[in-house]
Amino acid sequence: MTSGSKDSELLQQLVREVDALKQENQALKNQLADFEDKSSICQDLIKHAADAIFLGDPQGNITSANLSAFELSGYPQPELIGMNISRLFPVNELQREPLRYDLLQAGKTVHRQRQLLRKNGDLISIEMSARVLPDGTYHCFMRDISNRKKMEEALRYSEEKFSRAFKLSPDAVNINRLRDGVYIEINEGFTKAMGWTEEEVIGRSSLPGDLDIWCRAEDRQKLVDGLSADGEVHGLQAPFRSKDGRILIGLMSARLIEINGEPCLLSITRDITERVKAEEERRKLEEQMLQVQKLESLGVLAGGIAHDFNNILLAVLGHCELAQRRFNDETALANHLLQIKHAAGKAANLANQMLAYSGKGKFVVAPVNLSRLVLEMEPILAVSISKKALLRYDLNEDLPTVEADPTQLHQVIMNLVINASEAIGDHSGVIAVVTGAMDCDSHYLSETWLDEHLPEGRYVYVEVADTGCGMNSDQLDRIFEPFYSTKFTGRGLGMAAVLGIVRGHQGAIKLYSEVGKGSTFKVLLPASTLPETPADDIDTNITFSPGGLVLLIDDEEAILDIGTEMLEELGFEVLTAHDGLGAVELFRRHHKDIRFVLMDLTMPQMDGEQAYREFRRITKEVKVIICSGYNQQEVAQKFVGKGLAGFLKKPYQFSELIKAIQQLEVC
């Protein structure tokens, strides 16, 4: 090879090496440009990062920071750069927990949560992470966790509040598994209400076969169905069984929750047993008040009708008795008169029933021994009942008396016994009549018919029990309603009259009944300390000397007519007046000759009470017999301490008029 060829080859080699160097140089330039681009991107990322980034020298002086660092600290760039990082933390915190340069110098990354002191003095919670670079400088990342801290604090407070409410609530609060009712947690309110301890309950089920707390399976199923449908249940009222077997009424609200993936229910149950009892007592009281209102309203009607009816009956009975006195008993007319008198007597009894229903039928009150009264009625009771019914008596011989009208108590006992006989019907059965005395407290009296705040104390009772058909709840609710009857032909007045009579005597009725087993009516009357008194004898053959003047006052013309005839039949002269005003004027003119006044209580313009006061102004010696279809005691109260001479219950008979005159001692 020549020297020229060698030089040419060397030159080409140099050219190739130069080209390779150029290519390598270009690659380096490209890599440098790429690095600069990436570096620029990284710087942008650091500059605009959400977290605050600080760079510093080994002494902790800040040499660089991003925008978030300025914003987080509140310091502008000129103030922050060159500042020692320790100035960003409160002195007391640094004293309690200093910055750990020792850990950084040992090559460890330090993570902490601290309070950062901003330029304006605000403290914010941060999360801080720092480490040292190989050249001895450090970089530090800070993140504002104030909101997270607030949320955590709110959650902690909420949990604490729930825990307090859970533990301290007076209501029973518990968490159960939905599928099997197993208790996961209970509070003190639960243990107090149900009697179980926490150790006895946790891990056991409320269902039958275990604790058996639910009294009715359908109530729990209703709860489960409501939770499944809506996730919540409010106001579920149900009975629950405590450890000692007591039944509590609870008002429950519950919500479906999840614990470790298991559906559970969180429930709050309030013991409303006393409230339910109070509401039941209030309901019964309202029913009783409604019954009283019925009695009052219908009593006004019944009393008004009975008043007018008695006036008519007085005329009928009076004329009948006058005719009997004036005609020979052997005449054909005598039997007709007797039948008229009997029919009028039955009508008077019906009027008395109407007054009894109104509660104003207590006319002639005397101390009565109930056992002796029942014994006197034994013959009439025996013929008044079904032949299939057997009467049995258990009469207490040592009873306190009751202040009552014997005639009306006869009616009460008769109606109860007849009612018992009808309940037995065509089947064989027993009617038991029992008398006794007992001490009644307010609770016992509150469960009776017409407990109008009766006083506690000693009560005498007569009880009529039968083995008949009994009554259902609807019949029990309506048994004392006016004109209600379970019999096809009954008027339903008998039991209403019984209730009215008992009410008029300030008594009560206790009623027990069961379908197919019979009924028991217990009539309670206040015991009296008065001894039993025998009935007064009436001398119906008394005669009167003529010449006496009587003032007869009534707004009914028929009463004036028959009253005049009856008094004239007894030998008196009669002055009549239609109202109190006319009577006062007549009395003022003739009071020196008037032996006594026979006066109706209820009259227009001036009633009997007002007229009586006017008579007393004229002379204190006036003797007045008041006539009324109402209660003698009620009438007597209007004239207490005023010297009323006598009382006649309309419609009265000749014998009763004679007795009233006898008591005046005017003969």
Q: What is the pLDDT of residues 275-314, one digit of tens each?
A: 888 888 888 777 767 766 666 666 666 666 666 777 777 7
- pLDDT value of position 437: 93
Mean pLDDT confidence for 383-394: 86
The tokens 């217990």 sit on which residue? 522
- pLDDT tens, position by position, 423-439: 888 888 999 999 999 99
Could you write out the three-class secondary structure of 386-452? CCCEEEEEECCCCCCEEEECHHHHHHHHHHHHHHHHHHHCCCCEEEEEEEEEEEECHHHHHCCECCC
Task: Read off the tokens for 440.
Answer: 């009644």
HEC string of 572-622 equals EEEEEECCHHHHHHHHHHHCCCEEEEEEECCCCCCCHHHHHHHHHHHCCCC
Confidence bin at 11 (pLDDT 50/70/90): confident
- Write a three-state SS string for 322-376: HHHHHCCCCCHHHHHHHHHHHHHHHHHHHHHHHHHHCCCCCCCCEEECHHHHHHH
**Lowest mean pLDDT: which of 107-111, 173-177, 322-326, 518-522?**
322-326
- Is residue 469's pLDDT more than 80? yes
Burial (0-12, 13-18, 19+ Cβ within 10 Å), 276: middle
Q: What is the mean pLDDT of residues 69-92?
A: 90
Angle subtended by helix axes 493-504 and 406-424, to nearest 10: 140
- When pLDDT is averaged across residues 363-389 and rounded to a whole number, the result is 83
Give the tens place of pLDDT for each residue, 301-357: 666 666 677 777 777 777 777 777 776 665 667 666 677 776 777 666 666 656 655
Q: Give the predicted TM-score (pTM) of the model.
A: 0.41
Q: Rounded CA gap, 478 and 501, in Å?
A: 17
Contact in structure between 584 and 602 (CB atoms under 8 Å):
no
Sheet with 624-628, side-by-side order of all strands: 572-577, 548-553, 594-600, 624-628, 646-649
| Sign of the dihedral through C-alpha 43, 44, 50, 54 | positive
Structural domains in the chain, sorted by start: 49-144 (3.30.450.20), 160-271 (3.30.450.20), 282-355 (1.10.287), 362-528 (3.30.565.10), 548-664 (3.40.50.2300)
Please measure the distance between the N-terminal and C-terminal CA atoms of the chain and give it in whole angstroms.
Answer: 195
Q: Which of 61-70, 117-126, 157-166 has the lowest mean pLDDT?
A: 157-166
Work out the pLDDT band at 552, boundaries 50, 70, 90.
Answer: very high
Q: Are strands 518-528 and 401-404 parallel, antiparallel or unpaired?
A: antiparallel
pLDDT band (50, 70, 90) for residue 651: confident
Q: Are 327 and 337 in contact (CB under 8 A)?
A: yes
Task: Return the pLDDT at 458.
Answer: 92
Lowest mean per-residue pLDDT among 350-354, 398-402, 496-500: 350-354
User: What three-state secondary structure class fits 306?
Assistant: helix
* pLDDT (0 to 100) of residue 108: 86
| 443 — pLDDT class (breaks 50, 70, 90) | confident
Specify the pLDDT at position 490: 37
Contact between 493 and 482 (Cβ < 8 Å): yes
As a whole number, mean pLDDT of residues 155-183 equals 78
pLDDT band at 370 (very low <50, low <70, confident <90, very high): very high
Phi and psi at 377, nearest 5°, equal: -85, -5
Average model confidence (pLDDT) across the chain:
80
Residues 6 or more apart whose CB falls under 8 angstroms from that of 652 comprise: 314, 317, 627, 660
Work out the pLDDT band at 400, boundaries 50, 70, 90: very high
Q: Tell me if residue 98 falls in helix, strand or coil.
A: coil
Radius of gyration of the chain (CA): 53
| Predicted local distance difference test score (pLDDT) of residue 362 | 46
Long-range CB contacts (within 8 A, 24+) of 522-525? 522/461, 522/462, 522/463, 523/412, 523/416, 523/461, 523/462, 523/463, 523/498, 524/440, 524/445, 524/448, 524/459, 524/460, 524/461, 525/370, 525/402, 525/404, 525/459, 525/460, 525/461
Three-state SS annotation for 122-139: CEEEEEEEEEECCCCCEE
463, 522 in Cβ contact below 8 A? Answer: yes
> For the residues 555-564, what does the mean pLDDT come to?
86
Asked if the model's pLDDT at residue 492 lies above 50, the reply is no
All residues at 6 or more sequence positions from 122 whose CB lies less than 8 Å from its CB, including other chains:
74
Rounded distance between C-alpha atoms, residue 83 and residue 78, angstroms: 9
The pairing of strands 366-368 and 401-404 is: antiparallel
Residue 448: pLDDT above 60? yes
pLDDT of 664 > 50? The answer is: yes
More confident residue, 27 or 246: 246
**What angle do the packed helices 332-357 and 493-504 form, to 10 degrees?**
70
Share of the chain above pLDDT 70, in %: 78
How many C-beta neighbours within 10 Å does residue 503 have? 26
Q: What are the pLDDT digits (tens) for 607-616?
A: 888 888 898 8
Q: How many CA atoms lie within 13 Å of 137's alpha carbon, on the beta-carbon side?
A: 10
Question: Mean pLDDT, to the nearest integer, of 549-571?
Answer: 87
Strand partners, 112: 128
Which pLDDT value is given to residue 139?
85
Residue 438: its pLDDT value, please?
92
Residue 472, Cα to own-chain centre: how many angstroms? 24
pLDDT tens for 35-47 read: 555 445 556 566 6
Residue with tokens 């470790």: 260
